[in-house]
Structure 1
Amino acid sequence: MRTELTDTTSSKVDRALLAARRAIGSPTMGLVLTLVVVTDEENAYDAVRAASEASREHPCRIIAVIKRTSRGPYKLRQTRLDAELRVGSDAGSGEIVLLRLHGALIEQAGPVVLPLLVPDAPVVAWWPVDAPADPARDSLGALAQRRITDAGSAADPVAALDERAAAYAPGDTDLAWTRLTPWRALLAAALDQKPLPVTGATVESEGENASAELLARWLEDRLGVAVTRVTTEGPVITRVRLETTGGEIRVDRPEGALATLILPGRPDRKVALKIRSGAELIAEELRRLDADEVYGSALRRRPLQTALSA
């Protein structure tokens, strides 16, 4: 069921949601959290679709805050809130509220969203693009226990990571870090199989890749060794090498969903290491609502080795 409201208010949206649930015979809510997606019109469709797919694992109310900017002098822009509500089969496993903010209302997103949060449930805020410099102090970020950004969408991903590090607060995370979960698990397992002292490491990837930079910082932070960054043609991260006293541990993924794990004295092994979709990344982040201390430590680690070109 879909309902559209033009030039409305938060209280009217809340009442319309209740009426829509009653109309489909589901007056009560079985939602575990509120996911606030802050985006522009250009990226709204993909972001809402990813959030909706993630809600199959985590039933939630998705509130998409779509900031509509207009040309011309600011004082002449119309201040207005338009909303589209989706419940039932149109909303997957939860509810979807699309809020389009016009004019001066763009700067008042927090008070607009506050009445629409699921009562007594955690709040997660996600900026697919154009994240604020300090998410925890943003009017929407201040409502959330977890704040998800994506440095990979920034014009300068590495500079975006430095900006995140300067403003880091417990509860912050970034999809550039989430993309590394299979890499980190594989490298940790490799060192469990070959528990040898690591003397150095190398991360090879396409240039200006936020995940590769975070992986290098994580290795430096965990292993206490300098990590060399090598720029290749990609795509994304193509190889990681760990230099140990017993030989080199290497993970090669030149392309595709398969990587080769090479351990000293053992046969090469193929392992799955695919590039995951946005929905899979968001679903992973919604599994935990506590502070990610490992991410915070890696994010704030200063590089010990400059980048090289292949």
Structure 2
Amino acid sequence: MKIDLTDTTAGAIDRALTQGRRAIGTPAVGMVLTMVIVTDEENAHDAIKAAEDASHEHPSRTLVVIKRHTRAHRAQDGCRLDAEVRVGSEAGTGETVVLRMYGEVSQHADSVVLPLLLPDAPVVVWWPVDAPDNPSKDPLGALAQRRITDLYTVENPMEILEKRVRTYAPGDTDLSWTRLTLWRSMLAAALDQARMKVTSAVVEAEADNPAAELLARWLQARLGVRAHRVVSDGPAVTTVRLGTAAGEIVIDRPDGPVATLTLPGQPRRTLALKVRSTAELIAEELRRLDADEMYAIALRGGGTKESPVHV
């Protein structure tokens, strides 16, 4: 069910949500959190689709904030709030409100969003693009227990990564870090099997890949060795090599969903290591809403200041 509201208010939107739930016979009590997506018109469709897919695991109220420029609109459109309310099959397993804000309304998005938050439920804010320099100090970010950004969408990811180091606050995370979950799990499992002291680490990935930098910093912080970056053809992270006295521990994924694991003195084996969708990444982030201490460790892991070596 869809309800379109033009030149509306937060109170009218809340009443429309109640009307929609009554019409389809669905209560709000099954929803576990409020997801606030701050995006532009171009990226809104993909972000909403990802959130709706993730809602099958985490039923939620999704508030999509789209700030519109008024230059291309009539003068009377200069300060306005339009909304599209979706409930039932139109909104995954939760409910979705698309908020289009014009003029001064867009400067006070938190005042519009605040009355629409589910009472006594956690709040997560996700910026698919154009995240603020300091997410925890952003007016919408300040409402949230969890703040999700994505370094893959910025023009200079290494520069923005250093800003994230300086502005980190508990609750901050980034999808470039979430993309590493399978890599980190398999590296930890490999070290459990090998039981050898690691003396060196190398991460091979495409140039300026923020996930590769975070992985190198995490290895450096956790293993106490210098983690070097090597530029490969990609895509994303392709290989991790951990040096030991008995030989190298290697996880290699040049392309596709399959990787190979090589341990000293053992036969090579095949691992499933697929590139996950945005919906899968968001669903993972919603499974825990406390501070991600490992992300903080990776951010502040010392970094690899030398330029990556090209192969």
TM-score range, shorter chain: over 0.9
Q: Are 1:145 and 2:145 an aligned pair? A: yes
Deviation at 1:157, TM superposition (A): 1.1
Using the size of structure 1 for normalisation, the TM-score is 0.97
Match of 1:111 in 2: 111
Contact 2:6/2:83, CA 8 A, preserved across alignment: yes
Distance 1:11 1:280 in 2: 33
SS at match of 2:152: helix
The number of equivalent residue pairs is 309
Q: Which amino acid aligns with 1:217?
A: R
Q: Which amino acid aligns with 1:92?
A: G
Match of 2:273 in 1: 273
Alignment of 1:92-171 (within 5 A): 92-171=92-171
Distance 1:212 1:107 in 2: 35
Match of 1:282 in 2: 282
Match of 2:67 in 1: 67
Alignment of 1:283-298 (within 5 A): 283-298=283-298
Deviation at 1:69, TM superposition (A): 1.8
Deviation at 1:72, TM superposition (A): 7.1
Distance 1:26 1:151 in 2: 37
SS at match of 1:256: coil
In the alignment, structure 2 segments of 5+ residues that lack a partner are none
Contact 1:68/1:103, CA 8 A, preserved across alignment: yes
In the alignment, structure 1 segments of 5+ residues that lack a partner are none
Q: CA RMSD in A?
A: 1.4
Q: Which amino acid aligns with 1:10?
A: A
Match of 1:309 in 2: 310
Alpha carbons of structure 1 residues 242 and 57: separation in structure 2 relative to 1, 3 Å: same
Match of 1:198 in 2: 198
Deviation at 1:305, TM superposition (A): 5.1
Deviation at 1:208, TM superposition (A): 0.7
Match of 1:219 in 2: 219
Distance 1:133 1:270 in 2: 40
Match of 1:84 in 2: 84
Q: What are the Cα deviations for residues 124-150 of structure 1, in whole angstroms up to 9, with x where unaligned? A: 000001000111111110010000000
Deviation at 1:161, TM superposition (A): 1.2
Match of 2:184 in 1: 184
Distance 1:26 1:72 in 2: 39
SS at match of 1:97: strand
SS at match of 1:198: coil
Distance 1:246 1:69 in 2: 61
Distance 2:161 2:47 in 1: 21
Distance 1:134 1:213 in 2: 20
Distance 2:77 2:302 in 1: 44
Alpha carbons of structure 1 residues 90 and 304: separation in structure 2 relative to 1, 3 Å: closer
Match of 1:54 in 2: 54
Q: Which amino acid aligns with 2:269?
A: R
